[in-house]
Amino acid sequence: MADDTTDTKSSNQMWGGRFASGPDAIMEEINASIGFDKKLFAQDIRGSIAHATMLAHQGIISTDDKDKIVHGLNTILSEIEGGNFEFSRQLEDIHMNVEARLATLIGPAAGRLHTARSRNDQVALDFRLWVKEELQKTEQMLTGLIAAFLDRAEEHAESVMPGFTHLQTAQPVTFGHHCMAYVEMFGRDRSRVRHAIEHLDESPIGAAALAGTGYPIDRHMTAKALGFREPTRNSIDTVSDRDFAIEFLSIAAIAGMHLSRLAEEIVIWSTPQFGFVRLSDAFSTGSSIMPQKKNPDAAELVRAKTGRINGSLVALLTIMKGLPLAYSKDMQEDKEQVFDAAESLELAIAAMTGMVRDMTVNTARMKEAAGSGYSTATDLADWLVREAGLPFRDAHHVTGRAVALAENKGCDLAELPLSDLQAIHAAITDKVYDVLTVEASVASRKSFGGTAPSEVRKQIAFWRARN
């Protein structure tokens, strides 16, 4: 790969003291992270301002130099925000791009900023700050999704639908109850997010390359200035650790799996065969060849985004699993995985929140489906236990015979004449018809966490108070 221009290239201005020549072109390409880590510019500048302020406070640099540094960093921040900053790949990453620009802006004082730190603790800091903000955003977005479900649950606390196991009609439930299942799932995701914020709330800056530093720095001061609870306690772990990124990805993968199950239900529910919900034009697309079609593309894409998120989790676990302590350049590959997963997760939550609020629920169709498939068979068995004193196993058997008879006659359980039911078991009276309707079935399931509208309303109140 070497050509004769290699030797004439100058070595890196930030770390090139012992290098006679610059990098091969391919070295520069594989080494540079600026293409993606420029996303960390705001965190990098915040971190540097806190570090410089602490250095001056401790008398490690002069107040005059600190003022120049802080002023210069703020100028760079506005330059980048205003799109007036030229990122250079030769300068590898965001840290050196900012520092080189600082040198152009303020001269030699810029060279004092990197006292008592290393890019190893600097990148750990920038990335932690970024992940922390992303977790906070995720927490809010999940709260929005939960709120959407709470509204739909309240609206449909009484609407009956078939509950499924094995995707076969099982027992009638309410749509409100089904919505509240998702509230529980996204509530758990949100509490995982909160725990992750607690775990990562330690400041890495001051760990330096890996061993700490001989300068009299104050890590508690920088931790406080940057909004962390406290500094990390082991400098080696600090620069080797990417658990916070892996935790973010694990949480994203679990939340993504929940979103994907919901997406799958929306896809099924919106088929003409089910017809339980209809997405408006705002959340559907048409087919270029079949004019009658309305496709739930947003739901399908949410289902697919989960694949990307899972890929990112596995990628970062694999990147990290063989690394000896402390920092290795492999760890530079952490950012794209997290950035991509964060973008996918945000999109998926936003699209889902939109769909949950948007979808029209066809309660008539749901009710019709809730009554088919002998969904109240368990209610008949329970009635036999309660009113006729049968052991549940016998009641199950008697009910099975009633279902077989109804199936033979091509009717529902509630349509079997009393004489037929009494021929199967003499203790059955016409009171049994009260429990064979879907409304009676759901109303009877008042056990804590059950599907009765009264119970669903209790759970809605519980979550409203927490949300």
> Which parts of this chain interact with ligand ARG (CB under 6 A)?
33, 37, 93, 119-120, 123, 329, 331-332
CB 91 within 8 A of CB 14: yes
Written as six digits, the tokens of 423 are 């021929």
Written as six digits, the tokens of 180 are 């509240």
CA distances from 443 to 362, 439, 456 (A): 20, 6, 10
CA distances from 299 to 179, 335, 346, 358 (A): 16, 27, 14, 12
- Establish whether 62 is a catalytic residue: no
**Of residues 117 and 258, the one with the C-beta less far from ligand ARG:** 117
Written as six digits, the tokens of 216 are 């009299």
Q: Cα–Cα distance between 174 and 128 in angstroms, integer?
A: 43
**Of residues 7 and 330, the one with the C-beta less far from ligand ARG:** 330
**Of residues 126 and 189, the one with the C-beta less far from ligand ARG:** 126
**Of residues 329 and 386, the one with the C-beta less far from ligand ARG:** 329
Shortest reach from residue 194's CB to ligand ARG, in Å: 27
CB 414 within 8 A of CB 436: yes
Q: Cα–Cα distance between 439 and 443 in angstroms, integer?
A: 6
Q: Cα–Cα distance between 245 and 200 in angstroms, integer?
A: 9
Shortest reach from residue 9's CB to ligand ARG, in Å: 19
**Of residues 270 and 332, the one with the C-beta less far from ligand ARG:** 332
Find all residues with CB under 8 Å of 278, minimum gap 6, and list them: 270, 359, 360, 362
Shortest reach from residue 333's CB to ligand ARG, in Å: 8
- Residue the block writes with tokens 């077989």: 404
| DSSP 8-state code for residue 232 | -
Catalytic residue among 166, 288, 419, 447: 166
Beta bridge partners of 360: 278
CB 119 within 8 A of CB 95: yes
User: CA nearest 360: which of 261, 294, 442, 303?
Assistant: 294
- Establish whether 95 is a catalytic residue: no
CB 446 within 8 A of CB 457: no
Catalytic residue among 10, 287, 372, 454: 287
CB 172 within 8 A of CB 193: no
Shortest reach from residue 138's CB to ligand ARG, in Å: 22
CB 204 within 8 A of CB 185: no
Shortest reach from residue 188's CB to ligand ARG, in Å: 32
Long-range CB contacts (within 8 A, 24+) of 62-68: 64/109, 65/109, 65/112, 68/106, 68/109, 68/110
Active site residues: 166, 287
